[in-house]
Structure 1
Amino acid sequence: MAANAEGEVRVDTRRTQGSPLHEFATAHFNVLSILAVFIVLFVFFSIRADAFLTVDNLVNIGRQIAPTVVVATLMTFVITTGAIDLSVGSIVGLSASVLGLMAKTGNPLLALAATLAVGAGIGLINGYLTAYGKLQSFIVTLAALIAVRGVALLITQGYSTPIEVNWLLAIGQGQFLGLYTPTWIAISTVLVGWYVFTQTRFGRYVVAVGSNAEALRRSGVDIRRLQMWALVLTGLFASVAGVLVSTRLASGSSNSGTGFELEVITAVVLGGTSLMGGRGSVIGSMIGAMTLGVIANGLVLLQVDVYWVPITQGIILIVAILLNGNLVSRVVGRIR
């Protein structure tokens, strides 16, 4: 507020701009917070567990978390639209089963194509019922979680099927430049997912659907098709995760991916994606998956009972939801 030469009082309504670093920290508070947690955990396990900070162990962590990273990248799109997909774990199990059975009895290349088609097909059903059937994605994918797992158990009768085709096994066990193939696939998925989410019209529409779907619809965008495709792609990449799991273990099992959906959703929420939609981060989801992987690996190396791993992940999910809601808004408000 200031007075001019005539004595008139003027109020300066211009917003005070903070430093670029302050603006960046405010805009990316969620991602930076989980990154800080990851760094703390990484340092802690490096100090407490002798075998943690070794090349072999770190490379192994990269391979273990690859399926989670792959699916979490696409789950970021789904949750940002305001939907959710609970069927990804069951799709992993069915995909692993289909790949094992078809590779054993037929053409391995056809088996791989059929496996990916299975995931995309389930995603298409989920997406169509959600977008065009106007059903809640939670209910639709919960039903798919149960039914798809049942199909996997039915076609395998509960038995695992060995995978013995060398080039298929290379997908889960091969190495390039010191990293396993699944790690490279995960890295590629994150890079492409980040670009699509942040630099393309599709990514902007995904955010807009979650924040104000009606406004986007009135602007002429077919939001139903967009919502459907988000679930189709998540189903497809859940099948990719099934391929990675089964070829790494050289076995297609209907029990693969049990509880996988919890791990994926935890990683995405930890990374700053809002369960209410309208806000998401592919990089944050990757860091969330890395955090879960470090926790699981570190606890095992510290010889902590393995049953503590899911307990810890469940607690982390609750904390993530709290951080993702009003608590974050209050903290960011105070920062501003």
Structure 2
Amino acid sequence: MSSYTERAKQSHTVEWLNDNAQVLSITLFFVACMAFFGALSDSFLTAGNLLNVLRQAAPVLIVAVAMTFVIMTAGIDLAVGSTVALINALAAIMMANGFDWIPTLITMLVAGAIVGLLQGWFISFQGIAAFIVTLAGMSILRGVALYITAGYSIPIKDQPGFFWLGRGTLAGIPVPAIIATLFAVLGFIVMRNTRYGRRVVAVGSNLEAARRVGMPARWIVCSVYMMSGIACALAGLLIAARLGSGSSNAAVGFEMQVIAAVVLGGTSLMGGRGSILGTVLGTLTISIIGNGLILLHVSPFLTQIVTGVIILVAIWMNTRLFGGGFKIGKKG
């Protein structure tokens, strides 16, 4: 009887390790990065620097949470950087023309939802590959942003409430970090505790099977791109609020950071599996690597190389090292 109990306990442990292997791997990697840069730079672990990392990571985290849902449906959104830039520029133009920041914020969130909904419609109802649709969107949306700004930065003036969203603090914590944390918590709850979250997982695992059991599979796919558009709008607004201007050149390379954070956090590019907690850790890891390299006086252009390497290594780790799970206590 006792040996049976021991085997049962072991199987539960192995099952837990299998379910959380990717999150455990990114947690260890995150801790290793913190220790590495903390040992090499005296200013890295200071409160001021860490709060600055959180402020700068907030827009990436917001979009990465939404991207987790997109990738869980076996999709991809390459247009997130261009959407951020378009919303960033439109918000600045609206406020420069006398609109208050509150109606501007609402309008931009609606605009982001429409952009995401349009892309989702082409993907889910017209059967065009997500890669193609969002690649086209990346070019179109950035082009529109360039056209309406003529390539210039648009300054934002006399909007203290808006600037507080990007520069303010609450209890010493940057407001963008608080907003991003709330967004991540909401994403976690939706994924783990709602029917919608379970449907996203089901659609990502097998869209046709989900459709045959009565799920509105196409609408679910469409909705995750709408969520991505809203997240991009919020991120674009926070960047404009922090910098005090809007520009068509905002968020260049943003999609690379977002996808790297999501994949590094253990979300499968094949769909059906993902983790908001892993995405949070992946985002923070990408941010501290960039920050640490700057503090070590390494060329900022090297960050792009490191990000690309991280994506490749993360995919390799997920498929080769952790994809098969832990074999302890299992019989062939």
Instruction: Please give the range of the TM-score, normalised by the shorter of the 2 chains.
Output: over 0.9
Moved more, 104-113 or 141-150: 104-113
Aligned to 1:272: 266
Instruction: Look up the equivalent residue of 1:288 and give its one-letter code.
Output: G
Q: Which runs of 5+ in 2 are unaligned?
A: none
Aligned to 1:56: 48
1:185-211, Cα deviation, whole Å (9 max, x unpaired): 010011010000011110011111111
1:221-277, Cα deviation, whole Å (9 max, x unpaired): 110001000100101111100011111111101111111011000000000000000
Aligned to 1:297: 291
Aligned to 1:203: 197
Aligned to 1:43: 35
Alpha-carbon distance in structure 2 between the residues aligned to 1:333 and 1:127: 40
Alpha-carbon distance in structure 1 between the residues aligned to 2:118 and 2:249: 22
Moved more, 80-89 or 210-219: 210-219
The correspondence for 2:311, drawn from 306, 317, 326, is 317
Alpha-carbon distance in structure 1 between the residues aligned to 2:300 and 2:266: 27
The correspondence for 2:61, drawn from 58, 62, 69, is 69
Counterparts in 2 of 1:190-229, with a 5 A limit?
190-229=184-223
The correspondence for 1:170, drawn from 148, 164, 182, is 164
Contact 1:100 1:252 in 2 (8 A): yes
Aligned to 1:143: 136
1:147-175, Cα deviation, whole Å (9 max, x unpaired): 00000000000000111211111110111
Measure how far apart 1:331 and its partner are: 5.0
Q: Taking structure 1 as reference, are residues 335 and 214 closer, same or farther at Cα in structure 2, changes over 3 Å only? A: farther
1:284 equivalent to 2:278? Answer yes
Contact 1:26 1:335 in 2 (8 A): no
Q: Taking structure 1 as reference, are residues 325 and 105 closer, same or farther at Cα in structure 2, changes over 3 Å only? A: same
* CA RMSD, 1 decimal: 1.5
The correspondence for 1:107, drawn from 95, 99, 103, is 99
Contact 1:76 1:280 in 2 (8 A): yes
**Runs of 4 or more above 4 Å deviation:** 333-336
Contact 2:201 2:272 in 1 (8 A): yes
Alpha-carbon distance in structure 2 between the residues aligned to 1:162 and 1:333: 58
Moved more, 267-276 or 209-218: 209-218
Q: Taking structure 1 as reference, are residues 322 and 335 closer, same or farther at Cα in structure 2, changes over 3 Å only? A: farther
Contact 2:17 2:326 in 1 (8 A): no
1:100-139, Cα deviation, whole Å (9 max, x unpaired): 0100103222222222122111101111001111111110
Instruction: Look up the equivalent residue of 1:119 and give its one-letter code.
Output: G
Alpha-carbon distance in structure 2 between the residues aligned to 1:282 and 1:132: 27
Alpha-carbon distance in structure 1 between the residues aligned to 2:153 and 2:38: 36
Contact 2:18 2:325 in 1 (8 A): no
Contact 2:14 2:326 in 1 (8 A): no
Q: Percentage identity across aligned positions?
A: 43
Alpha-carbon distance in structure 2 between the residues aligned to 1:275 and 1:227: 15
1:89 equivalent to 2:92? Answer no
Alpha-carbon distance in structure 1 between the residues aligned to 2:24 and 2:84: 30
The correspondence for 1:79, drawn from 56, 71, 76, is 71
Measure how far apart 1:87 and its partner are: 0.5
Alpha-carbon distance in structure 2 between the residues aligned to 1:333 and 1:156: 57
Aligned to 1:184: 178
Instruction: Look up the equivalent residue of 1:143 and give its one-letter code.
Output: A
Alpha-carbon distance in structure 2 between the residues aligned to 1:330 and 1:222: 31
Measure how far apart 1:334 and its partner are: 6.2
- Aligned with 2:323: secondary structure? helix
Aligned to 1:247: 241
Computing the radius of gyration from Cα coordinates, the structure with the larger value is: 1
Measure how far apart 1:24 and its partner are: 2.0
The alignment of Structure 1 onto Structure 2 pairs a total of residues equal to 323
Aligned to 1:124: 117
1:1-45, Cα deviation, whole Å (9 max, x unpaired): xxxxxxxxxxx9xx8552644432221000110110000010111
